[in-house]
Amino acid sequence: MRLSTLILSATLATTPFLRAAPLADQTTEEVQDAITSELKGLDPNIPIKSIEKSGWGGVFRVTLEGGSVIYSNETGKLLLRGDMLEINNGQIVNLTEELRNKAVADQLKSLKKEDQIVFSPKEEVKGVVYAFTDADCGYCRKLHQEVPGLNNMGIEVRYLAFPRGGKQSPAYAKMVDAWCSPERMQALSELKNGKEITHKASKEDKEQTRCEVLVEEQFEQGLKLGVSGTPALFLESGKAIPGYRPAAELARIMGITPPPAPETAPDTKADSAPKS
């Protein structure tokens, strides 16, 4: 198993905290070179983004593309995979999680909204959920049933393609058809309901819209973020929410209060007494 894969496997199972940690000072070139050399020796393709002082004497923070973090000594021969915690004003702060969330948030923010299939509220947008989805995923279909409820609470859902079986899977072809369709929202909803897509694009339209490339790019983006199953949800903050969640639970996680249930008029009709 590649080192980068080993690291990514742990990125979605951590607990978030609230305070933003200050950026650490850059470390010396000599230490950067030593750590890089050791890591590249294990995995030539490991995507190192930065190497910085961690704030813990002799320990350096290595951030990978996608937001994953490991820690190393100055020689790169001792590695630690896990979260660095800080006690601040009597509370535990997860410094690693904050950095990871920021890196994920920056990557999600860089994605073009027009390349996603977006279900927006009719009224004010109070929050956004990014959802990596697969056309043949049962829990993805279950999540899609929650979209009207999410929209009613002001939550926008932005779908990103993640055919779990890759380019050779049946789901890949279906998702290309959805992203290529002139009616993307309808096409995706039809797939989620187990139906054929009504409005499919021609071969020429597919080439013009680059939709096949979009599906591949979004799949690769999901892999970089550590996505391995669907649905995989992310908030604008970069916080990861693996798996299906009901609309009310998602709203609670996002700090959005669901609208009150409509009042029902009391039933004034009495049951008729049985005839003797």
Catalytically annotated residues: 134, 137, 140, 164
What 3-state class would DSSP assign to 129?
strand
With the CA atoms of 182, 187, 188 and 191 taken in that order, what torsion angle do they form, in degrees rounded to the nearest 10? -150
User: Is the Cβ–Cβ distance between 136 and 144 less than 8 Å?
Assistant: no
Say whether 174 sits in a helix, a strand or coil.
helix
Q: Rounded distance, CA 221 to CA 160, Å?
A: 9
Cα–Cα nearest to 115, from 201, 204, 212, 207? 212
DSSP state of 46: -
Within 117-265, where are the H helices? 138-144, 147-152, 170-180, 184-192, 203-209, 211-224, 247-254
3-state helix, strand, coil in the chain (%, to 5): 35, 20, 45
Tokens of 231: 């649905």
Q: Which of 182, 183, 169, 181 lies closest to 134, judged by CA?
A: 169
Q: Quote the CA–CA distance of 35 and 38 in Å, as a whole number.
A: 5
Structure tokens at 38: 């050791």
The Cα–Cα gap between 271 and 83 comes to 63
Q: What is the DSSP letter of 114?
A: G
